[in-house]
Amino acid sequence: MDGFSSTLEAEERRLAELMSAYQQGDLAAFEQLYALLVDGVRRYIAKVHRDQGAVHDLVQDTFLELHRSRRTYTPPLPVRPWVFGIARNVAARSRRSAQLRPEGLPPSALDAALAIAAPAGGVPSADALDMEKALRRLPVGTRDPWLLHHVLGHSFDAIAARLGITVVAAKLRSSRATRALRLALHPTGRSGDE
């Protein structure tokens, strides 16, 4: 047996031990599992899912599913194939959900946001043009929840139902959009209020 195979077997034994400990309620074992597996899961989902803005959320969903399904793992079977099977199912479920809803909000939602920022009947200000540019640069996955909540006034429950995501994901994506907009509009880190 070569060194690579023996290292891989040793890693799988360690993962199986950690998974067994986690099944018994050891939260430190979960933290170690997460640390050992998260990069590989992230790379896998980034390869199989076209919406790169959703990769972080899908990685978190994978580990949430791992938590929910932890009792179905059978020691001492290899852990990686089991976890990557969960990741594959999470990514597939996300793709199916995306196929059932239109890609992004209609352009009118972005136009509505821009109309709010523009002066009535006048030439758009430099701030409005900056806002338009910043909004157009946001990934659809983060822009839509932000527009739905901050411009159109929808609740996060309604946003989650409309976009086929969880309420937590809707809040998280809106928060990321807010952070990205702040950085785009105030790159020095100072807000316009100062």
Q: Confidence class of residue 92 from pLDDT cuts 50, 70 and 90?
A: confident
**pLDDT given for residue 91 in this prediction:** 87
Confidence of residue 193 (pLDDT cuts 50, 70, 90): very low
In contact, 113 and 147? CB cutoff 8 Å: yes
Full set of structural domains in the chain with CATH: 3-100 (1.10.1740.10), 107-185 (1.10.10.10)
Q: Mean of the pLDDT values across residues 1-30?
A: 89
User: Against a cut of 0.85, is the pTM above it?
Assistant: no
pLDDT category at 192 given cuts 50, 70, 90 is very low
pLDDT score of 25: 93
d(CA 112, CA 115) in angstroms, rounded, equals 5
| Secondary structure percentages of the chain, helix, strand, coil, to 5 | 75, 0, 25
Specify the pLDDT at position 83. 95
Mean confidence (pLDDT) of the chain: 81
- Do residues 134 and 143 lie in contact, with contact meaning Cβ atoms separated by under 8 Å? no
pLDDT of residue 105: 57
Q: Say whether pLDDT at 124 is over 70.
A: no
Compute the average pLDDT of residues 55-76. Answer: 91
